[in-house]
Structure 1
């Protein structure tokens, strides 16, 4: 069996495997710790839900890489939004429809795709003539306009802009 502690609308349950469930029966929130203390979670933290809100002045992330749109079954847009007004802001993101990094000057905080206002400039290098190189890595033949290619061969240096 397990242990149940129920104080009206709140409850704590420890099941027979040692799993702990803390929650309210009337959709009440759960608070851990006090505002002037540190709450430490040993091990991994898995948060399930539709929105995760972090209200802190500064957030430190030790990971070197962050995965956005994790678990996507198909190519999808994604990025980072800096909010400048209620519900909108400036975004840097990847537009999967055109296979290119883009900027969006008015992206809604609940957007599911990004509409480019400008493209991120890309510089590619190689040792062959720029006019004989393959299409740009980002954007391809249709949306790779503006990509800069630099020939690094000592005897045949040159700079090309894909248009």
Structure 2
């Protein structure tokens, strides 16, 4: 987004929005006589999917337990356009309307990795980057029994391009 600096008004908000994100650039001028050298720019991203009832998303901390083996974590590899690179991360996703964080964690785990598990713990909503984004997440610990047949050969949801 381009803003003509000559047209800037004191404490004016400039917005760009789509269905998922609203990006806000707030231009604040210092107290007293305003000059371009006093201008401060603050960028923020706001999730439009948050209904105010809780977190926007879940981050799943999947612990796979198998007899005769040490407990392990499952991570996924996803391409992230803002980074222009792949990222190794915990499975995660947006909470659907009417869905609890625990239900979302189970669904996201199945979609992204094919594994099924039982939610054990759920954090309150926390912000991972409050200086930039209004996005909040619940961290959900999911226990996966690696000895049961449905977890012996997991298949991720069709259409996803995620490695794990």
* TM-score for both structures, normalised by structure 2: 0.29
The one of the two structures with greater contact order (alpha-carbon pairs below 8 A, sep at least 6) is 2
Structure in which a larger fraction of residues adopt helix = 2
Bigger Cα Rg: 1
Structure in which a larger fraction of residues adopt strand = 2
